[in-house]
Copies of this chain bind each other. A is one copy, B any other.
Amino acid sequence: METVLPTRIVDTSNSPYAKLRPVPIEEVELKHGFWAKRLKRIREVTVPSQYELLEKTGRIYNFRRAAGREKGGFQGLVFNDSDVYKWVEAAGFLLASRFDEKLHSLVEKVVDDICAAQDEDGYLNTFFTFGNKAKRWSNLARDHELYCAGHLIQAAIALHRATGDQKLFNAAVRFANHILRVFGPDGKPGAPGHPEIEMAMVELYRETGDPAYLSMARKFIDNRGRGIAGGDVNRIDHKPFKELEEIVGHAVRSLYLNSGATDLYMETGDKEVWSVLERLWNNMVKCKMYVTGGVGSRYDGEAFGLNYELPSAQAYAETCASVANFMWNWRMFLASGEAKYVDVMELTLYNGVLAGISLDGEEYFYVNPLASRGNHRRRKWFECACCPPNVARLLAGLPGYFYSISEEGVWVNLYDQNEARIRFKDDVVEIAQTTDYPWDGKVEILLGLKRELAFSINLRIPAWSNRTEVSLNGSRVNGDVKPGSYFRLDRTWSNGDRIRVNFQMEVRKISCNPLVYENTGRISLGRGPLVYCIEGVDNPGFDVWDLLIPEDAVLSVEWIPSLLDGVMVIRGEGYVADSDWIQDSLYRVFNPAGTRRTEFLAIPYYAWANRDPSPMITWVRSIPRLENIQK
């Protein structure tokens, strides 16, 4: 193996307008905790099975075909190359975490097929070959060439950092240079129908230092709203980027564009760009995001809806949009150091993203409703298979999001059992987290240092934790431990220093802004970063859509190791108002069946639909306190 670079996901090491830079994947090992178990499955099941499917569905074949290594027609959709690239990126992150000869050989084989398909002039897209060659760059709004190019570049950078790969990286650079020739300063105007190239170009600038890539990203962003990308809302091309007021249109496209713009901001410091990003973020978080962190509520156009248009049963909430939401917030956080962005990352990760993949690691949701009759099930693959490798690459890179560093010190963003060896200036700071997070709010952080060292440790206090206790070497730390902020511990640290944090992890009844009409009078249940749902299979005595939870219901938790790979369930007592289940018509005279007491059991939302099909609900009707009604 060649020299390996730090595998940072978004390398802001030299970004003048970034507050933080990520701790590389290889410096953090998730062990024996919530995520270690999932990542093991990503490595052992998800990534290998996705490889098989990429082969089976002709996605890798398409490269061999383009290279003249196989004969036949192009298979699948025009953007299918991107699925292969995302898989390579996922594999790269896994290799950064732990080298694995078998996976590495597989990746090299795929990389060889990819690179063989590249044209002399650097162009690389398996659809626009042979008879379709003449159509290159002819329909930027629809053809996804820049989108696929962006994924190639991201995958190549990940692999370059993880394994020292030069082959794919050189191919990506050649393609990027080809794009510069076509769309650069002397080229024609360009803007992609599906953003993605922007992030990739900025990252390539970071990786190579060549400002031409940064300029290219800026040009692609500046060219929006000029009709090049389709001129429509769903392609986020209805307005110039800087004139966007509301977050609208295709959710993944919007969030990829915002991610790219955030990358651009971190390099250029363009305050106007930042203020657009803040405006769009506020609109999303305050008016258009599900309680799971899912976004893009509309089936039609896979798009953001109107403000407060957040239907549960007819939610779209594409898994890719959750991934994109996580990616964008990561960049917003690196730019600003503000905890609110990590709150959204954590929410989305544990709920919107994680529901996208089955417990066994080989089935996926594309669409993520918050209520179902049980007929919505994960599938092994999709004709448009953007989501499976997107989940894979996000989770494969997860260790890379746990910590970040600034000039002043270390930032602890996420909590889970892990051991980190963080290069901080000329030292290595070892951090061992011991915790049962997200099932328990207690986290112990043990420091390992070769010598005494003055720096700050910034602990993220999640917005959901109303009471957090922090102690250092057994003594309570006083200070303003505010939810939704970083709590800064500034001192000269010694080897063996021990921080204990205890986040309040009570069950929360969550209410929704009643402008979301259908959630009025309903509550959802949450605990720590997890949102819960109620699934029929756990509650055989009633239809979960008929459950009522009293306002003042006492809720308890129980750890059930045998259930769903081990989950903390929520138990409570409520009522069932058996629905007036009308057969074969929409309306009839109300004929209430009466109300009866029941016990109920709720599971984490991410775990639903992993057993036999049954109805599921996230927002449950609440009933007011009886004593108040009696007055």
Contacts and interface: CB of A to CB of B under 8 A. Distances in A.
Interface of A: 285-287, 289, 291, 298, 300-301, 305-306, 308-314, 371, 373, 466, 508-518, 520-521, 523, 545-546, 548, 551, 575, 577, 579-582, 584-592, 594-597, 621-626, 628-631
A517 B518 contact: yes
Contacts of A287: 586
Contact of A520 (B311, B546, B591): B546
A577 B521 CA distance: 8
Given A306-B314, A518-B311, A520-B545, A591 B511 contact: yes
A494 B590 CA distance: 43
Interface centre among A586, A589, A624, A631 (most CB of B within 10 A): A586
A298 B301 CA distance: 13
B575 A629 contact: yes
Nearest to A513: B582
B298 A551 contact: no
Nearest to A580: B511
A594 B520 contact: no
Contacts of A510: 587-590
B628 A511 contact: no
Contacts of A518: 311-313, 517-518
Contacts of A520: 545-546, 579, 621
A595 B521 contact: no
B521 A587 contact: no
B626 A623 contact: no
B286 A629 contact: no
A625 B595 contact: yes
B623 A511 contact: no
A128 to B, nearest CB: 25
B592 A312 contact: no
Contact of A584 (B286, B310, B587): B286
A579 B585 CA distance: 32
B624 A286 contact: no
A575 B624 contact: yes
A310 B313 CA distance: 11
A587 B513 contact: yes
11 contacts: A298-B300, A305-B314, A309-B314, A508-B590, A511-B580, A511-B590, A514-B582, A520-B579, A523-B590, A623-B629, A626-B626
Nearest to A512: B587
Interface centre among A516, A592, A626 (most CB of B within 10 A): A592
Contacts of A595: 624-625, 628-629
Contacts of A508: 589-590
Contacts of A523: 590
A596 B628 contact: yes
A401 to B, nearest CB: 23
Given A551-B590, A585-B286, A517 B313 contact: yes
